[in-house]
Amino acid sequence: MDIKSLIRNIPDFPQQGILFRDISTLLSNPAGLQYVIDTVAEKCAPLDIDYVIGIESRGFIFGMPLAYKMGLGFVPVRKRGKLPAAVYKAEYALEYGTDQVEMHQDAMPLGSRALIVDDLIATGGTATAAATLVDQAGCQLAGFAFIIERSVFRRAEKFARCPHY
């Protein structure tokens, strides 16, 4: 299936010079959505995962059905200040400044293996921050899964430590 044809490109959104990858067209296509979840589950099955981690917010969209399909727990990684209990925190760079993501400290038992899922990998900032949270929790990063990969990223060496799809 040609998933790329199911993702709408919107130029100059949210600002001039940005090409936005709109996944709503993929999400509204039942066969396309099922294909994505089934394919990622199949490719990631050998990684011996205990938890799927979804990065806010579009990582939740793909992470939840993937966790369900694989019979695993789901852990949300949220933006700063959104989680009510004790959290691990990791900062990442933005074009102008920094931001932070958080994960509950009791989200996964020590030594658990986790797969980080998001819709798109661009610079790798939030994915790297999520990997830092996994490390802080004393867990193992089994891999990454992204639905869209911007050509400027092309699986940089910082992700070489584990499989990514």
Among residues 99, 143, 147, 93, the alpha carbon closest in space to that of 121 is found at 147
Which pair of tokens denotes residue 101?
Answer: 């993501």
- Tell me which of 8, 42, 58, 102 is the catalytic residue: 58
- Tell me which of 8, 56, 78, 95 is the catalytic residue: 95
58 is catalytic: yes
**Cα angle 90-157-125, degrees, rounded to a multiple of 5:** 30
56 is catalytic: no
Query: Is residue 98 within 8 Å of residue 92, measured between CB atoms?
Result: yes
Q: At what angle do helices 58-70 and 30-44 cross, to 10 degrees?
A: 60
Q: Which residues are catalytic?
A: 58, 95
